[in-house]
Amino acid sequence: MNTIIFDDEITFWWDIDEYQDAKTYSFYLDGKLHGETSKTHYTFASLKEKTTYRIRMDAGENSREFTLSTRAKKRRLDITKAPYFAVGDGKTLNTSSIQKALDDCTENDCVYIPQGTFLTGALDMHAGSELYVEKGGGLKGSEQPEDYLPKIRSRFEGIEQDCYRSLLNIGRLDYTAGYTTGNVVIRGKGTIFGGGDPLCSAIIQAETIALKKFLEENQEYVKTCETPHTIAGRARGRLIHICNAENVIIGGLTLGYGASWNIHFTYSKNILTYACRILSADWESDDGAWKMQEVENGDGWDPDSSED
């Protein structure tokens, strides 16, 4: 049994093999039934900070009790307040404002995304930082490739190369360096959406032009690829890009529409994702007819040379 504890919630997660005879898990808070689940995680939300709770879990013939205390509330760095003044109208590009808040974030702070849609380019998160997206709030990735420059080292299907940055970037890729960052939290009840298919297509177009000479000189190799734009597509960023990191938590959010994969972690350890919904396709209307619009290589969760 494992726990994740914040100031306002406690989450349990476990391996299904721990309780093989259980089909449903019942959770009690201070003696009262709180809820049941058939999944292998459960969250007590809307708790009070610095408060001790008695919790019981019933799983088939097994019963376990816990006494746990929530943490102290962190200082909120609201991106719409001074000195950041981000605008959640879905049109204003807020990259510099949000990045300043993330740069200012200490282990006792939490960068807070309130209600609204905050358009942004690539952002970096450092060790010990936390990002919280409120219900009704969201980060929305720009659809312009230039908002994800300069390129960084990444790895696509085992090939290390320079790629456009992702919407959220944690760590720098270096297979010789070990774990160089960590203890990062991305959570909340809101959304983090990338630039989706428009960004995907724009990057492939830009890379096809940049690689024109290479593609012309290596036509036989290009023929062996899945599509004519496979090579150009390898330069796309992700939604969340994690490298050489340990102890990263992503919880409670609706995520999706990265330019390629959504959550990708390489040379990392202890990357935990729970209670998230990950999207890479949607329905759209075209002259009154509905059709599926999806991101190419829109994987949800991609572990790469990582563990735990």
Instruction: For the chain of 308 residues, list the mean pLDDT of each consecutive stretch of 10.
Output: 97 90 94 96 97 96 95 98 99 99 99 99 99 98 98 93 98 97 98 96 95 89 84 95 98 96 97 94 62 75 94
Backbone angles phi, psi at 147, to 5 degrees: -80, 0
Same domain, 20 and 55: yes
How long a stretch of residues is the chain? 308
Q: How many CB atoms lie within 10 A of CB 161?
A: 13
Q: Burial of 265 by CB count in 10 Å (0-12 exposed, 13-18 middle, 19+ buried)? A: buried
Residue 52: which CATH number? 2.60.40.10
Q: Which of 48, 69, 90 is the last residue of a domain?
A: 69
Q: Which of 11, 43, 69 is the last residue of a domain?
A: 69
Same domain, 296 and 160: yes
Same domain, 145 and 44: no
> Which regions of 51-103 does DSSP assign to beta strands (E)?
52-59, 62-69, 75-78, 89-93
Amino acid at 42: Y
Same domain, 254 and 135: yes
Domain of 11, in residue numbers: 2-69
What gap in Å lies between CA 154 and CA 145, rounded to an integer? 16
Same domain, 50 and 166: no
Same domain, 102 and 64: no
Same domain, 121 and 94: yes
CB-based burial, 162-188: b 16+ in 10 Å, e otherwise: ebbbbbbbbbebeeeeebebbbbbbbb
Same domain, 122 and 265: yes
Q: Which of 15, 35, 69 is the last residue of a domain?
A: 69
